[in-house]
Amino acid sequence: MAHKPATRQLADWDRQYLWHPFTQMQEWEQEQPLIIERGKGAYLIDTEGNRYLDGTSSIWVNLHGHGHPTLNRALTQQLGKIAHSTFLGLSNPPAIELARALIRIAPKGLARVFYSDNGSTAIEIALKMAVQYWQQQHPGAGPKNTFLHLKLAYHGDTIGAVSVGNIDLFHSRFKPLLFPTLEAEPPYCYRCPLKLEYPSCRMACLDPIEQLLKTHHRELAGFVIEPLIQAAAGMVAHPPGYLRRIRDLCTQYRVLLIADEVATGFGRTGKMFACNHEDVTPDLMAISKGMTGGYMPLAATLTTEEIYNAFLGKYEEFKTFFHGHSYTGNQLGCALALANLEVFQKERTLAQLRPKIAAFSRLLRPLANMEHVGDIRQQGFMAGIELVKNRKSKEPYPLEARIGHRVATAARTRGLIIRPIGNVLVLVPPLATSLVELRQIIGVLKLSIETSTTG
């Protein structure tokens, strides 16, 4: 039996050989890394046996808890058949069955599934499909080769996805690589760019969007948006009716609506997809993260039959969508995604979630009275707590104060893993998190905020 390396040895190798994402490695090399070895339910367990509540669902992917028996069984059963074969010129049962299952639960009108590997690629595919659709189906509609998106948007880290993003800290240095887009102010009610108050504002932030669509619709292929909540922007929640109005404007001005449901899909907002809350059917929808219950990389871009039909033609017309990935339609991922949907059905996940979402709201409410909590934003089982230096003036903590990092570090010592976005503490627990565990999470967070902001 191979010798199991000790934690100290693993930590040394990590610092010597690895490069972690979104991590300042100079600092990392001075720290003792937390090395996760196992998981059970809502808990992560490190190499020393310490248990931590997974307050981020391992970056928003885990739904039914770690080590779920149905998902484990689906993976091992598929391994007994085949792990992967190409989807180029071939098909396979799990991918076929999953496509049917996805269309049955997707917003009505979505009819086709194109598989890929992660959220960024699902968005890239949607962008390319939109441009090619207009070229082939409606060449007289205008050049239609650019996109509208909200400021503070994050849709992934590949070049197309970054082009329709707007988080300067992540994206500004790559601007020479990006294609031009149009941007609109988001409905960030706590820091309203129009200096108005909701609901008396009547969502005045939609007026500039309508003007952009009216002026530029001939060049716009699509409007890319995260429905209901901009997650990486710091959980900026949209007011009720905002998404419905965006759908209507896109229809009116003949611009495709591209819904990025990578973070919001599969129950995160309380319904299977965020678009369901306002009975919105996008023209294209990107999904990933929770698609396999947090087990394997898998993504898909869903679209309408009308868009699919624009790519049909004779071989020599070259209307084909020339895009693909080596692991497109991977059997292991698709088998897990099917099992994920089976768990939703058998465990009545969405129905079980309703009282937990209400409890989540109740537990978060007292935090709003804390001296350095400026705003609490929640959509289903997704929440953001914005910390401020001064509540009255809404003055933010300076970046160098690293207040979010300090709170996360304090929480870790108390058995909770969270990952902040700047001054915003982000909570996205697994859907399977119990009420007892939810109370523990909020209790630890409250104490961690108090100790980190005092003085």
Mean pLDDT of 180-189: 97
pLDDT of 170 strictly over 90: no
> What confidence score (pLDDT) does residue 341 get?
98
List, for residues 255-264, the tens digit of each pLDDT value. 999 999 999 9
Report whether 351 contacts 203 (CB < 8 A): no
Cα–Cα distance measured from residue 389 to residue 394, given in angstroms and rounded to the nearest whole number: 7
DSSP line for 107-152: PTTEEEEEEESSHHHHHHHHHHHHHHHHHHH-GGG----EEEEETT
List, for residues 214-256, the tens digit of each pLDDT value. 999 999 999 999 999 999 999 999 999 999 999 999 999 999 9
Report whether 152 contacts 186 (CB < 8 A): yes
Give CA separation, 375 vs 186, 237, 364, in Å.
16, 11, 11
Amino acid identity of 352? Q
Among 234, 316, 248, residue whose Cα is nearest residue 282: 248
Bridge partners, 259 (sequence order): 225, 285
> What confidence score (pLDDT) does residue 3 get?
74
Which residue shows structure tokens 């849709």?
155
Cα–Cα distance measured from residue 337 to residue 355, given in angstroms and rounded to the nearest whole number: 25
Amino acid identity of 61? V
Radius of gyration of the chain, Cα coordinates, nearest whole angstrom: 22
Helices then strands, counting H and E runs in the chain, come out as 15, 17
Q: Report, in this order, helix, strand and coil percent for the chain, each rounded to 5.
A: 40, 20, 40
CA angle, 213 as apex, 207 and 214 as ends, to 5°? 85
Which residue shows structure tokens 């779920």?
68
Cα within 13 Å of Cα(61), Cβ side: 16
Secondary structure element (H or E) that encloses residue 404, with its range: helix 403-413
> What are the tokens at 108?
């009505």
Mean pLDDT of 318-332: 97
List, for residues 35-82, the tens digit of each pLDDT value. 999 999 999 999 999 999 999 999 999 999 999 999 999 999 999 999
Cα–Cα distance measured from residue 223 to residue 247, given in angstroms and rounded to the nearest whole number: 9
Among 220, 236, 288, 234, residue whose Cα is nearest residue 259: 288
> What confidence score (pLDDT) does residue 2 get?
62
> What are the tokens at 234?
């710091």
pLDDT of 455 strictly over 80: no
Helices (H), 299-330: 305-309
> What confidence score (pLDDT) does residue 454 get?
86
Q: pLDDT class for 168, splitting at 50, 70, 90?
A: confident
Q: Which residues of 194-218 are buried (b: 16+ CB within 10 A; e: fewer)?
A: eeeeeeebebebbeebbebbeeebe
Query: Environment class of residue 411 by beta-carbon count within 10 Å: exposed (0-12), middle (13-18) or buried (19+)?
Result: buried
List, for residues 81-140, the tens digit of each pLDDT value. 999 999 999 999 999 999 999 999 999 999 999 999 999 999 999 999 999 999 999 999
Cα–Cα distance measured from residue 32 to residue 183, given in angstroms and rounded to the nearest whole number: 41
Q: Within 10 Å of residue 241's Cβ, how many Cβ atoms?
A: 13
Report whether 116 contacts 122 (CB < 8 A): yes
pLDDT of 347 strictly over 90: yes
> What confidence score (pLDDT) does residue 169 get?
84
Mean pLDDT of 331-349: 98
> What confidence score (pLDDT) does residue 342 get?
98
> What are the tokens at 120?
């960024």
Give CA separation, 339 vs 44, 144, 199, 336, 343, in Å.
22, 39, 42, 5, 6
SS3 338: helix
φ/ψ region of 156 (left if φ > 0, alpha if ψ in -120 to 50, else beta) reads: left
For each of the domains in the chain, give its residue range(s) and CATH number, in order of start: 34-64+351-453 (3.90.1150.10), 73-346 (3.40.640.10)
pLDDT of 178 strictly over 70: yes
Q: Which residues of 137-161 are buried (b: 16+ CB within 10 A; e: fewer)?
A: eeeeeeebbbbbbbbbbbbbbeebb
